[in-house]
Amino acid sequence: MNTVIYVVFGCAICLALYMWYQAFCNRIRIHRLSYDKLPTAFEGYRIFFISDVHRRLISYSVIDEVKGKADLVIIGGDLCEKGVKVSRVDENLKRLAAIAPCVFVWGNNDEEIGMEKLRSLLQKHQIAELVNSIKEIQLKNQEMIIAGVDDVGHRRHNVAKVIKESKNSFSILVSHYPTIVDEFPSSHPFSLMLSGHTHGGQIRLFGWGLQKKGRLMKRRSYFHLISNGYGTTGIPMRLGAPAEAHLIVLSKK
């Protein structure tokens, strides 16, 4: 009987350590996406996307891996949450801003450290805040639009406004909540949508989780990337949905 107890206890310890490891992975997934209508000036344009950092300090191994390889950083919400020290948020923004110009959209937890406090940090590191607004990126007289909707969970998003402002340019939409796609009309200007929030279910048992695992999906007229996220909420453990960030490479068909 004692042997069985020791074996079960040992397996539980190993599982807990493995779950902790998955929560603190520094995996960067690379996605190569091709489009007919991508402006030629943006051939090979690279975007680093990270969401749901929460309490983690972004590892220098992640920064070093993408530094010099990304043209833009997109922070997809839940950079922080209640209880995270402002100094840690400041350091994370400093590290991300060292990679490339950054844009930020709000998640449902970000305001918990104080909206004005976070806004002052974004300004300090010259990070553009997208609140139902767009950022125009110009290369060789050609344009790409990055559109960001405000937090869906607090009902502050305005879908119609970002669609109107995105015009007919090649456009990327960033929304912390992946369910934003349910509110879009069948015809919209977006070729890529970036989301987080779900943590991929965070802990999945036999492939099942409370949320679907993060994935890249090809829709009729666009790609939708839903990230497992970089951090965790609650216990710092994951199973079957390891932490991740993303490097997206755009190319023309």
User: pLDDT for 154-166, tens place per residue?
Assistant: 888 899 999 998 8
Predicted local distance difference test score (pLDDT) of residue 12: 79
pLDDT above 90 for 106: yes
pLDDT for 186 beyond 90: no
Per the rule left: phi > 0, alpha: psi between -120 and 50, beta: everything else, 77 is left
pLDDT-above-90 percentage for the chain: 75
Supply the range of the domain harboring residue 219: 2-252
- Does the structure show a pLDDT above 80 at 7? no
CATH code assigned at 152:
3.60.21.10
In order of 124, 152, 183, 220, 234, the CA distances from 173 in angstroms are 24, 14, 13, 16, 28
Residue whose C-alpha is closest to residue 23's, from 237, 182, 247? 237
Confidence of residue 234 (pLDDT cuts 50, 70, 90): confident
The DSSP element (H or E) to which 10 belongs, if any, is helix 2-23
What's the predicted TM-score (pTM) here? 0.95
pLDDT in tens, 28-82: 999 999 999 999 999 999 999 999 999 999 999 999 999 999 999 999 999 999 9
* Number of domains making up the chain: 1
Rounded Cα–Cα distance for residues 160 and 183 (Å): 9
pLDDT at 2 over 80: no
Instruction: Report the pLDDT averaged over residues 126-149.
Output: 96
How much is the pLDDT for 1?
62
Distance CA 29, CA 6 (A): 38
